[in-house]
Amino acid sequence: MDATTDVNPYADDFVQASEYLRLALSLLTKHQIPPSPFNYRLGYDAVAGRNEPLRTVFAQLVEQSDGSSEENLWHLYRQMFIQDDAALQAMRQELRHIITDLHGQFETSGHSLSSYRSALNRFAEILDAPYTPAALAVEVDKVIEDTRVTEQVQQQLGQQLSNMADEIAYLRNELEQVRQESLTDALTGVLNRKAFDAALEQAVQGAWETKSPFCVLLADIDHFKQFNDTHGHLIGDKVLRFVASTLKRSLKGRDLVARFGGEEFAVILPRTNLAGAHTVAEQIRQGVSSGRLMNKSTNETYGRVTISLGMAQFRMNDSPNSLLARADQALYLAKDRGRNRVERLA
C-alpha cells in the first residue's frame, strides 16, 4: 500500500470484493483473530495478494505462539498502512501553505508592477506635455517614489522566494527521511522486507542486462523461539539486533542486508559467485556464534547464539521468487543437517 498515492487501492468489483471478504474472515477466524477494522484490512490485503510483503509477514506472524496478539497485529498495521501517512499529510499541508503564500506574493507583485507600468506611461505622457520645470520636478519625484516602492516589493518577493526555496528543500529532506524510515526495520535498523523485495528485483534485472553473477543468502537464527520463551521478548529483541549488527559488519560495498521476517534475514551480494558468497556466509556464521550476550547488571550469560544460512547464485532464467526458493531450500538443508552451518544451491 503506497501512502503517497491518491488512487483508490480497493477498486474491486462486488463479486471480487465479496470473495475477498469471505477469505479474509475465514483467515481471521482460523487464527482466532478478532475481525476489527484494522485486522480485517490486514486480512483483506493478505488474501487479495496485492501486498506481497504484508502477506508474507502476516503469515509468519500468525504462526508464532503469540504472533496474533493485538500488539503485534497493530504494529504490523502501522508498519504497512499508517507509518508514513501523518508525516506525508503534514508535508502536503505545509506545501499547500507555501503555494498559497506564493500566490499572494505574485498577486501583490503583479499589482505593484501594473501600477508602476501605469505610472511610467503617465510620466511618458507628461514628458510630451508643456509642464513647467517645477511641475515636472514633482512628477519626477513621484516616479522615483513609485520606483522605490516597486523595488521594495520585488525585493520582498525575491526574499520570499528564497525563503520558500529553503522551506521546500527542508521538506524534501523530511520526505527523504520518511522514505528511508519506510524502508527500514524499526527494531534492527537494517532494511525491511519491502526494501529487500525492491532491491532483489533491481539485482535480477541488472544481472539479466550485464550477465554478471550475484548471490542471495537467507539466514535464520537457530532455536529462536526457544530462546524467546526462555529469556523473554526483550532479550529476543537484543538477539535480533545483535545478529543484524553482525551481518552489517560482515558486509561491505554494495552488499545489502534486510530483515526478511521474524528471526530471518536476507542478504544480496552483487557481483559475487558461490565461492565468494560462501566465504561471506562463513564469516557471518562465525561472527554470530563467537559472540556472547550478557546481562550487564548481573553478568548473566544468555547463552550462545547461532544461525543457519542458505545460499543460491542467480541463473539467467531466474525470477526473484525462484532464486529465493533455492536459497530457502539451502537454508532448510542447513537446519536439517544440524544448524549453525552454511549450505548452498547453485
Q: Which of 260, 313, 255 is nearest to 283 (CA)?
A: 255
Helical packing angle, 224-231 and 233-250, nearest 10°: 140
2 vs 95: CA distance, rounded Å: 20
Q: Please return the burial class of 209, using the count of CB atoms within 10 Å of its CB with bins 0-12, 13-18 and 19+.
A: exposed
Q: Give the amino acid at 200.
A: L
Q: What is the 3-state secondary structure (H, E, C) of 175-236?
A: HHHHHHHHCECCCCCCECHHHHHHHHHHHHHHHHHHCCCEEEEEEEECCHHHHHHHHCHHHH
266 vs 240: CA distance, rounded Å: 13
Is residue 263 flagged as an active site residue? yes
DSSP 78: I
Candidate list 263, 282, 300, 343, residue with the active-site label:
263
Helix (H, G, I), strand (E, B) or coil at 261: strand
DSSP 18: H
196 vs 206: CA distance, rounded Å: 15
Angle at alpha carbon of residue 106, lines to 100 and 112, rounded to 5° = 140
Helix (H, G, I), strand (E, B) or coil at 266: strand
Helical packing angle, 37-48 and 14-30, nearest 10°: 110
Kindly state the cell numbers that stand for 69. Answer: 496478539
Distances (CA, A) of 253 to 77, 193, 336: 33, 20, 32
Catalytic residues: 263
